Amino acid sequence: MKPPPFAYCRPASVAEALSLAAEAGEDAKFIAGGQSLMPLLALRMSRPSHLIDINRLPGLADLRQGSDGLHVGALVRHAALERCDRLSGPWRALREAAALIGHYPIRLRGTFGGSTAHADPSAELPVVATAMNATFIARSSQGDREIPASDFFAGPLMTVLEPAELLIGARFPAPAPRTRSVFEEFSPRAGDFAFASTAVTLTTHDDGRVRSARIALGGVGAVPVRAGEAENVLQGEHLTDGAVREAARRAAAGCDPSHDAHAGAAYRRELIATLVERALARLREEP
């Protein structure tokens, strides 16, 4: 099917983009890579009156690391995250997740802001943002609003962004020393949507005992979820085989996935147990 008719605007500044969005009202949509929005338009599942192309907006493609953490601009392409050698150690999950999004042509066009604002329950980057305690930054004519990842996702394909707000990026807080992260997912074929996924960040003491853990799960709920019981069971422990298996078991037992045409709830729980165990094993074995 062809998309429904819409007006197309290409502003040269964030201020102009916000002004156009305010004028167009709730039916306006921002577009960058378009890898999620264009299929919805073609299927007529989305019918915006205006498309506001933000690709020319300056400053939104910054990827920078400083003393306050990592800033990822909304226009940073998935391929840029995938290729960034600086995303190692505490940031590795972000790089690993980006490399698993769709196929390479999609990653060349798709953006960090587009993926997170689209809020697909199977998407990789929302899970990483949740595990890493990211803060999203939304801008409107009233100024900037900071939204923790735990509050940002409201449901499948829904966020708390207001119609006239533009997601300009996210800030990932500076990690404590001895923090590392990994990402794991399962999909039937490379490039397919994941049936389940997990992002794990782990901070250890000098003797290897777990100081803190954050485990986020994807594909098992309307939004990314934290595996709180799994995190708690690791606190103060070494990553022994027993501790890893128990954390994986609790992560699976604590989630409530739905049944759909692709996978049943019990199967998704089994996947979560396997993925969390695999992620923790990697964190134990890899530097």
Three-class HEC string of 10-54? CCCCHHHHHHHHHHHHHHEEEECCCCCHHHHHHCCCCCCCEEEEC
Q: pTM for this structure? A: 0.95
Which domains are present in the chain?
7-53 (3.30.43.10), 63-173 (3.30.465.10), 179-285 (3.30.390.50)
CA distance 273 to 243: 13
Q: What is the DSSP letter of 134?
A: -
pLDDT tens column, 25-71: 888 899 999 988 888 888 888 888 889 999 999 999 999 999 999 99
Question: For the residues 1-8, what does the mean pLDDT come to?
Answer: 83
With cut-offs at 50, 70 and 90, classify the pLDDT of residue 111: very high
Query: How far apart are the C-alpha atoms of 132 and 113, rounded to whole Å?
Result: 16
DSSP β-ladder status, 225-226 and 210-218? antiparallel
Beta 7-9 vs 50-53: how paired, if at all?
Answer: parallel
The predicted structure's pLDDT at residue 261: 76
Over residues 179-194, the pLDDT tens digits come to: 999 999 999 998 898 9
